[in-house]
Amino acid sequence: MLDTPNLDRRAERYKATVAEIIQAAWELARAGGLAGLSLRELASKVGMRAPSLYSYFDSKNAIYDAMYAQGAREFLERETRLPFTGDPLEDLKTITHFFFDFSTEDPVRYQLLFQRSIPGFQPSPESFAISIKGLEVLRERLTAMGFNEPDMLDLVTAVGTGLTSQQISNDPGGDRWARLVDESVDMLINHLNRMKRRSER
C-alpha cells in the first residue's frame, strides 16, 4: 500500500526545490545577464551539482521557460487588478503606467518577457499562453474604450515598450522617460480618437 503522506512530502520538497532553483536563476540573471546564466553557478547556489539540476529541468531553456511563465503570471495577476474609472484617458494612463512600472522595476524580467534576448529560446506554448491572456486583457480594455482596431492595440503596446526601452537603456533607475508617460498618452489617445472617427465613417 502506498504511503500517501510520504508521497505528499516528497512532492512538496520537489516543488520547493523547483521554486528555489527558479528564484536563484532570477538572482543570477539579474547579476550577470540572462544569456550568461550558468548551470554550474546555479547548481552551486542551490547547493547541488550541475547534473542534479536535470532532475528538475531537462535543459537550460526549460529553466528560462519556468522563469518566463512565472513572470507572465505576475504580469497577468497585477494587470487584472488594475482600477478603472471609465474615462478612456485616465484608464489608458493607468494601463501605460502599469506596464512601464512593471517593466522598469525588473529590467531582466522585461527582457525575458518582452524581448528576444536569449539566442535559441522561445517560451513553450503553455507559458506563452499566459502572455496571450495578458494581451487579451489589454485588448478587452481598449475595446471597452471604443478602440477595437488591431492597429490601435499595436500603437498602445508600441508606445509602452518604446518608453520602457528608452528608460531602461538610457536612464536606468531614473525618471527621464517616466516623466513622459502622461504626455505620451495624451498624444496617443488623440490619435486613437482620430483613428476611431475614421473607422466609423
pLDDT digits (tens, 9 = 90+) for 86-114: 999 999 999 999 999 999 999 999 999 99
For the chain, give every domain's residue range: 1-58, 60-200
Q: What is the Cα–Cα distance from 176 to 5, expressed in whole angstroms? A: 55
CATH homologous superfamily of 1-58 equals: Homeodomain-like (1.10.10.60)
Instruction: Give one DSSP letter per residue of 138-196, joined into a string.
Output: HHHHHHHTT--SHHHHHHHHHHHHHHHHHHHHHSTTS-TTGGGHHHHHHHHHHHHHHHH
Spatial CA neighbour of 52 closest among 21, 9, 7, 25: 21
Which CATH number describes the domain made up of 60-200? 1.10.357.10
| pLDDT above 70 as % of the chain | 97
- What pLDDT score was predicted for residue 201? 75
Q: What average pLDDT score do residues 164-185 get?
A: 97
Residue 1 has pLDDT above 90, yes or no: no
Same fold, 1-58 and 60-200: no
Decide if pLDDT at 4 tops 70. Answer: no
Average pLDDT over the chain reads: 94
